[in-house]
Amino acid sequence: MTEKTLIEGVSVAKEANVYFGGKCVSHNLTLADGTRKSVGVVLPATLTFTTASPEVMEIVAGACSVRMGGDAEWRSFEAGQTFKVAGSSSFDIQVVGSPMHYVCHFG
């Protein structure tokens, strides 16, 4: 595995976060400096997430379309790309075909 596929020096929550009847599953990570992240997968579905704090979503594998809360336009993202979500907001995400793997960077 390369440096880009690993997150070094983390504590991992053993219990998974399971959302939308299993359509999204993630694990919380805490880095040595206290930074929080989650890593997970979204199965084919259209889901709406709400955010408490700002997030940067890094697409690791697969692809998705995203519509920020209140917007009419969907934007497409694929592996290697990121999108930002404001805190105290929401976004719709649509995954078609293959699962989409992600890292969520909080704050």
59 burial type by CB count under 10 A (0-12 exposed, 13-18 middle, 19+ buried): buried
In a domain, 5, yes or no: no
The region that residue 29 occupies, defined by phi over 0 for left and psi between -120 and 50 for alpha, beta otherwise, is beta
More confident call, 6 vs 56:
56
Length of the chain: 107
In a domain, 40, yes or no: yes
**21: CATH:** 2.60.120.10
Which single residue is written with the structure tokens 């880009």?
A: 4
Residue 5 is predicted with a pLDDT of 77
Query: Which pairing describes strands 45-50 and 90-95: parallel, antiparallel, or unpaired?
Result: antiparallel
Instruction: Name the β-bridge partners of 74.
Output: none
In a domain, 6, yes or no: no
At residue 3, does pLDDT exceed 90?
Answer: no
Condensed to tens digits (0 to 9), the pLDDT of residues 74-84 reads 999 999 999 99
In a domain, 65, yes or no: yes
Its pTM stands at 0.92
In a domain, 1, yes or no: no
Residue 36 is predicted with a pLDDT of 95
**Using 50, 70 and 90 to split pLDDT, how confident is the model at 6?**
confident
How many structural domains are present in the chain?
A: 1
- Domain of residue 49 covers 11-106
93 CB contacts (<8 Å, ≥6 apart)?
42, 46, 47, 48, 49, 64, 65, 66, 100
Q: How far is CA 34 from the centre of its chain?
A: 19
Condensed to tens digits (0 to 9), the pLDDT of residues 36-61 reads 999 999 999 999 999 999 999 999 99
What is the number of other CB atoms lying within 10 angstroms of the CB of residue 95?
Answer: 20
